[in-house]
Structure 1
Amino acid sequence: MKKVLIIEDDKIIKGIIEFILKKEGFVTEFAFDGLTGIEKLSTFAPDIVITDVMLPYKSGIEIIQASKQLNPDVPVIVISALGKEDSTVQDAFKHGANDILAKPFNPGELTQKLKTILQLA
Structure 2
Amino acid sequence: MNSKKIFIIEDDNMTIEILKFIFTKEKYDVYVSKDGLDAIEKIPEILPDLVVTDILLPMKSGLEIIQFIKTNYPTMPVMALSSLGEEEATVADAFNLGVDDFIAKPFNPKELLLRAKRYLK
Q: TM-score normalized by structure 2?
A: 0.93
Q: Which residue of 90, 94, 97 maps to 2:96?
A: 94
User: Which amino acid is the alignment partner of residue 2 of structure 1?
Assistant: K
Percent identity over paired residues: 48
Return the offset for 1:58: 0.3
Task: Say what the alpha-carbon RMSD is for the aligned residues.
Answer: 1.3
Using the TM superposition, give the Cα deviation of residue 84 of structure 1 relative to its aligned residue in structure 2, in angstroms.
8.1
Provide the residue aligned with 2:108 in structure 1: 106
Query: Are the equivalent residues in 2 in contact too, given 1:84–1:102 (CA < 8 A)?
Result: no
Q: Which residue of 2 aligns with 1:52?
A: 54
**Unpaired stretches in structure 1, ≥5 consecutive residues:** none
> What are structure 2's unaligned runs of at least 5 residues?
none
Q: Which runs of 4+ in 1 moved over 2 A?
A: 82-85
| 1:16 paired to 2:35 | no
Write out per-residue CA displacement over residues 18-38 of structure 1, whole angstroms, 9 at most, x where no aligned residue: 011000111010000000111
Match of 1:66 in 2: 68
Residues 62-119 of structure 1, C-alpha deviation per residue, up to 9 Å, x if partnerless?
A: 0001111221100000000045871111100000100000000011011101111223
